[in-house]
Structure 1
Amino acid sequence: MARPRKPLLSRDRIVTTALALIDEEGLAALSTRRLAAELGVSGPSLYNHFATKEAILDAAADTVVGRVDLSMFRDGRDWRGALLAWGRSYRAALTEHPRLVPYLAVGPGLRPAGLRMADAVFGGMVEAGWPPAQATRIGALMRYFVTGSALGSFAAGFVGDAAAYDPADYPHLGQAHLLARHREQVDEGAFETGLRALVDGLALQYAELGAGKDDAQGGAKGAAAE
């Protein structure tokens, strides 16, 4: 009997199936036994490609992060524009797989795509003139903001029944039953509002940082002239 042209299993097929299972049922549904059943293979055969379930999760997480655009940190864009563009791309990648976000939220660990993203953001901020400690904080706060926004929908948390929001109890929620109907508009608008506010706030700090440098240089020149 001729051998199949393609192997029954591959790392890509395992990761794709694992992501689909997580998307459908959540992180708790993923086990090597369940994954093997979905793939139609025996459990031990997975270990020819991945040593542990955690290794499969890491590969799935890195696949998602690997889709985040990082070109804005290399194309000469100013740091504000880079953060805005990166934040949008980062969130877009995560919202495709919201049930994986809790695993991604703990940080990159040793995952290559995650580390490349951290390196690009940190390097971009330092090259723009941010002190290294502050560049680290910027990367952290962006991760907090983006992962938090990708965990779930604010608008979808409200039911579509107007009777649920009795004005006697909730005088300001008369339109809350319409939120879920406009989920994308509400959630995308909230993210964009927050992202711009975050970057605008950083811009104020950046201006203060520049003013501090100017004051220090002016003082040094004055001392030298005395």
Structure 2
Amino acid sequence: MALEYSDRGEFVDRQLLAALAVEPVLVNVVVWTNDVHELFWKLDWSRAQTPITDTHGVLFFVHVAYMYVLVMTGVLVMSDVIARRERLFRVQSVALGFAAVVPLVANVLFVTETVGFDPTPPAFLVSGVTFYWAVVGTDLAYVTTPDATALFGCYDPRHEATRDLIGFRADPANRGAARIVQYEYDDELGEPWLFRLFTPDEVRDAVVGTGWRVADVETGPEGWEHTYSVTLAKR
């Protein structure tokens, strides 16, 4: 999800998915054969209900460490998004990163026996609520109050870096430009997405006669000067 959200969907291919599937398959084999080697859980056959004890084997910690690395890699990818994306997406990115970290921290506290109970389930509840808010609660459709503002981001078609983007198409007839993006999933080519690209001046012209006005235009950070975000305010 982190790769898709950060515009790195081209890295999500069969080879990557197959590589990521290796560890879960091996863990299942280890768990189902734990009676033989006790490398995942230590067993006590004198226990009345179950021989599984609270003592973990070395492969349990290897598995936990692997999962932590995956989660933190996703968080780092999201952090990169926060640093370089337009303001429209920054709140969502921070919320999604927070939603990923909360269960991780809770699980670390439980595995290391820092706390006497497992805080992971309530942490997932917090994570789910945060994720829902990030996806739904920050939608522009919720801009309804009289003094509301709206943010959106775009690539400036006049910038050379924009013209170098994959799928960039100039549209001289309409004195504009667009970006066409099409993804492939499981050997099936999805529908093409067409993103119209506007300059800040064209945005100002577009809101004339509407209930909105351009309150601010902010150019992207260093290395991303071909992007910009526009703040719209109600008239």
Q: State the TM-score, normalizing by the size of structure 2.
A: 0.24
Which structure carries more helix by proportion?
Answer: 1
Q: State the TM-score, normalizing by the size of structure 1.
A: 0.25
